[in-house]
Amino acid sequence: MKVLVIGGGGREHALVWKLKQSPKVTEVYCAPGNAGIAQMATCVNVGAEDIDGLLKVALEKGIDLTVVGPEAPLIAGLGEKFREAGLKVFGPRRRAAEIEGSKALAKEIMIKYNIPTAKYAKFTEAGAAIDYIKTNGAPIVVKADGLAAGKGVIVAMDEETAINAVKDIMESKVFGESGNIVVIEEYLEGEEVSILAFTDGETVVPMVPSQDHKRVFDGDEGPNTGGMGAYSPAPVYTPELHETALRDILIPTIKGMAAEGRHYEGVIYAGLMVTKDGPKVLEYNARFGDPETQAVLVRLGTDLVEIIEAILDKRLAEVDIKWSNQAAVCVVMASSGYPGDFAKGKVIKGLEEANKVGIVFHAGTKGQGDEIVTSGGRVLGVTALGDSIKDAIDNAYRAVGKISFEGMQYRKDIGYRSLNR
Ligand code: AMP
Ligand code: GLY
C-alpha cells in the first residue's frame, strides 16, 4: 500500500514514522515533509494547502491512502475532493472539519447537545462585543471565529486587553476574514488535557490522554505558541474523568455532528479544561494535535493502518487498540524569537546522537547540502519513552542535550506538572 501524508511538521513526522512500521505499507510519500521525514519517506514539494496539487500527486503516484495532518486542507474541502476522485482519505470532510474551522459553530453544537463548555456570546460587531466585555468584566476570553494559526485566542486578565483584542480582530482584521465573528467566553480555571479520539462516526475510541504546554517559557509564562512540548499519560485525567469525558463530551459530540448532517470520521481532538465542576470543552480540532501526537503515537501498540482502514469501513468497534504502559515525553526545540519572528538557516548538530537516546521528530528543518538547518519556529520534537513520566522526562532531556543549534530555546519543565501531583 502506498500512503501519502499531508503536512510537514512534527506531527507529520510522527505519522510517517508510525505508518512506516505497518506491514501493509510499501511506500510513504509526504507533501511537503521536512528534512527528518525525507530520511524515511519520499517528500514531494507541494504545499499542504494546494489541494489540486495534492490530488494530482495522489493520482500520479497511485496513492492508496492519504492521511491529512493539518486542519487547513480539511476545512478547505480536501476530504470531498479526494473522495470524489475515488481516493481513500483519513480526515473528516469539510462540513465535519468546520467544528474546528468555526468556533461559533463549535459553541452552537455544544450548547445544542448539552456538552459542557464555558458560557459565551457571539458578535458580528465590535461595539456590541466591547459592551459585553464591559458588562461582564475580566478575566474573559476573546476568540476569533475562524482559523488564526493558533493565535486567535486571547485570554484577557483585564478589560483593556480584551477590548484591544476585539479591536485587533474585528477592526484591524489581524486574522483577516477569520475575525468577522468573535466569540467571547467565560474564563475557566483548571488544568488542561488533550483528548484525541479515533471515530468512524459511530464508535468513538479515545487515545491515551496527553497534555500540551502552550506557553513559550517555563512555568507556563509568556505568549501562547503552537505547543512547546507534550507528555502522555496525563495524571489529571483519571479513570472517572475518562468515563465522564467519553459519556458527556466525545460521544454526544459525534452523535450531535451526525444529527447536524456533519458525519464525522477521522480524529477528533477535544481540548478540555478540568474545572472544579468537571471537564469542559475549550476547543475542538479536526485532526491530530501537534505536539501531542508525538507523545501519543509512540505509545500506540496497534498498526495505525489497521485502525484507519477500520474507520474508513465503519467497523472501528471491531478493532482492539493497544497502548504501551510506558510514558512518553516530547520536548520541542524552537528557534530564538519564536513565537514571534525567528531566525532560520541555523545548522543543527547532534541529531544522530540524540536519536540513539530518543526519537527526534523534525518540524521546521530542511536539508542544505550535507547538513540539516532550521527552517521554522518549532524545529524539533525530541521524544522519548520511559517506565515512568520521570524516566521519560530524563530520557527526553538527555536526547535534547545532544542537540545544538544557534539560538535554540526549549522549556526545561515539560512534564513536571505531572511529577508534582
Ligand atoms: P484554544 O485554541 O481554544 O484551545 O485556546 C488556546 C488556549 O487558550 C487554551 O489552550 C487555553 O489555555 C486558553 N483558553 C481558551 N479558552 C479558555 C477559557 N474559556 N478559559 C480559560 N482559558 C482558555
Ligand atoms: N497542540 C495544540 C494543537 O495541536 O492544536
Per residue, what are the HEC states of the chain? CEEEEEECCHHHHHHHHHHHCCCCCCEEEEEECCCCHHHCCEECCCCCCCHHHHHHHHHHCCCCEEEECCHHHHHCCHHHHHHHCCCCEECCCHHHHHHHHCHHHHHHHHHHCCCCECCEEEECCHHHHHHHHHHHCCCEEEEECCCCCCCCEEEECCHHHHHHHHHHHHHCCCCHHHHCCEEEEECCCCEEEEEEEEECCCCEEECCCEEECCEEECCCEEEECCCCEEEECCCCCCHHHHHHHHHHHHHHHHHHHHHCCCCCCEEEEEEEEEECCEEEEEEEECCCCCCHHHHHHCCECCCHHHHHHHHHCCCHHHCCCCECCCEEEEEEEECCCCCCCCCCCCECECHHHHHHHCEEEECCEEEECCEEEECCCEEEEEEEEECCHHHHHHHHHHHHCCCECCCCECCCCCCHHHHCC
Q: What is the mean pLDDT of residues 359-378?
A: 97
Q: What is residue 251's predicted lDDT score, i.e. its pLDDT?
A: 98
Residue nearest to atom 6 of ligand 1 (CA): 153
pLDDT above 80: residue 233:
yes
Q: What is the mean pLDDT of residues 189-199?
A: 95
pLDDT above 80: residue 63:
yes
289 Cβ inside 6 Å of ligand 2: yes
187 Cβ inside 6 Å of ligand 1: yes
- Residue 89: count of CB within 10 angstroms of its CB: 27
Residue nearest to atom 3 of ligand 2 (CA): 289
Mean pLDDT of the chain: 96
The answer to whether the pTM exceeds 0.75 is yes
pLDDT above 90: residue 248:
yes
Tell me the pLDDT band of 150, cut-offs 50, 70 and 90: confident
Q: What is the mean pLDDT of residues 175-184?
A: 94
Best of 99, 122, 272, 282 to mutate for ligand 1, by most ligand atoms within 8 A of CB? 282
The CA distance from 130 to 416, in Å, is 38
Let me know: does 182 contact 142? Beta carbons within 8 Å: yes
pLDDT above 90: residue 3:
yes
Q: What is the mean pLDDT of residues 285-300?
A: 98
| Alpha carbon of 88 to ligand 1 centroid (Å) | 34
282 Cβ inside 6 Å of ligand 1: yes
Which atom of ligand 2 lies closest to the CA of 290? 4
Q: What is the mean pLDDT of residues 287-308?
A: 98
- Could you tell me which of 232, 236, 410 has the C-alpha nearest to residue 328? 232
| Alpha carbon of 43 to ligand 1 centroid (Å) | 34
Q: What tens digit of pLDDT does each residue of 48-57 get? A: 999 999 999 9
Burial annotation 286-312 (CB, 10 A radius, 16+ → b, else e): bbbbbbbbbbbbbbbeebbbebbbbbb
The residues, ordered by sequence, that sit 6+ positions from 138 with a Cβ below 8 Å of its Cβ are 156, 157, 158, 159, 161, 162, 187
Q: What is the mean pLDDT of residues 325-343?
A: 96
Best of 141, 183, 275 to mutate for ligand 1, by most ligand atoms within 8 A of CB? 141
| Alpha carbon of 153 to ligand 1 centroid (Å) | 7
- Between the alpha carbon of residue 351 and those of residues 229, 326, 403, the distances in Å are 18, 23, 6
| Alpha carbon of 169 to ligand 2 centroid (Å) | 21
Q: What tens digit of pLDDT does each residue of 89-139 get? A: 999 999 999 999 999 999 999 999 999 999 999 999 999 999 999 999 999
Best of 117, 119, 155 to mutate for ligand 1, by most ligand atoms within 8 A of CB? 155
188 Cβ inside 6 Å of ligand 1: yes
260 Cβ inside 6 Å of ligand 2: no
Tell me the pLDDT band of 79, cut-offs 50, 70 and 90: very high
Domains annotated for the chain, with CATH where assigned, are 2-93 (3.40.50.20), 125-180 (3.30.1490.20), 191-318 (3.30.470.20), 327-420 (3.90.600.10)
Q: What is the mean pLDDT of residues 405-418?
A: 95
Q: What is the mean pLDDT of residues 347-356?
A: 98
pLDDT above 80: residue 420:
no
Q: What is the mean pLDDT of residues 338-365?
A: 97
Q: What is residue 151's predicted lDDT score, i.e. its pLDDT?
A: 81
